[in-house]
Every structure is written in structure tokens, then in C-alpha cells.
Amino acid sequence: MKSLEELKKLREKLQSDTKLRAADGIKVIVGMGTCGIAAGAREVMAALMDEVKKRGVAGVAFQQTGCIGMCDKEVLVDIISPGGPRITYGNVRPSDAGRLVAEHVVNGQIVKDLVVAKSV
């Protein structure tokens, strides 16, 4: 049974990893306006989280944002590496989560065929 007690135990474990997390600091942002949600943003976010968990990657911060005006390209996912450009991926499906995490989050390689915008 998952309880608040169990969460307390988690705390000690996690605090010892804090330094590592601060050093990594890669951000994954999923667009969750009405347009994004209707296009399956929640499922994409869940798939990305699953993939990160499966690979045991530490230090990935998930965030959500509202509509940014590219509703026809939803689901939109931004990945920002510390000091790197902000890459916006469009028309992302849950099945793309594996590639985005393995290639971009882990190896720093941009998944070119899904890119719709790039900004510094």
C-alpha cells in the first residue's frame, strides 16, 4: 500500500541525488492547452514519463504549458538542454516517446523529422 509514510522514506533517497539533478536540468515541456489535450497531450506526457522511468534517467524536469498557437501541430513537445537551444517537436504521438528520450534526452541528438521549430 502506497502511503505518506512511504513518501517519507523516498525523501532521504532523493535528497542524496539532488546534486546530480541540479547538474542535469533538462526540461521537457508538453503543450496542454485545450488543443493539446484533445490531440492526446496527456498520453504523450505519460509515455515520455514512462520512458524516462524505464531508462532510469535522473534529472529530467517535466512541465506543461498552454496553447502557443500551433494548434494544428499538436501534440507539441519542447526539449531544452541546459545551455542548448529550445527544440520544439510537433505532431508527437505516444509512440515517438522512445525516440525522443533515447536520442534527445539521453544522447543529445535532435530527432530531426519531428522538429517544427528551434529557438535559442
**102 near another protein, rule: CB under 8 A:** no
By CB under 8 A, name the one of 20, 21, 93, 109 that touches another protein.
Answer: 21
* Alpha carbon distance 22, 52 (integer Å): 17
Between residue 24 and residue 83, which ones bind another protein under the rule CB under 8 A? Answer: 32-35, 37-38, 42, 45-46, 49, 52-53, 56-58, 60-64, 66-67
Contact status, residue 76 vs residue 89, Cβ threshold 8 Å: yes
The count of chain residues that interact with another protein, using the rule CB under 8 A, is 36
The 10 Å Cβ neighbour count of residue 107 is 9
Nearest approach in angstroms of CB 99 to another protein is 19
Instruction: Report the C-alpha gap between 68 and 111 in whole angstroms.
Output: 21
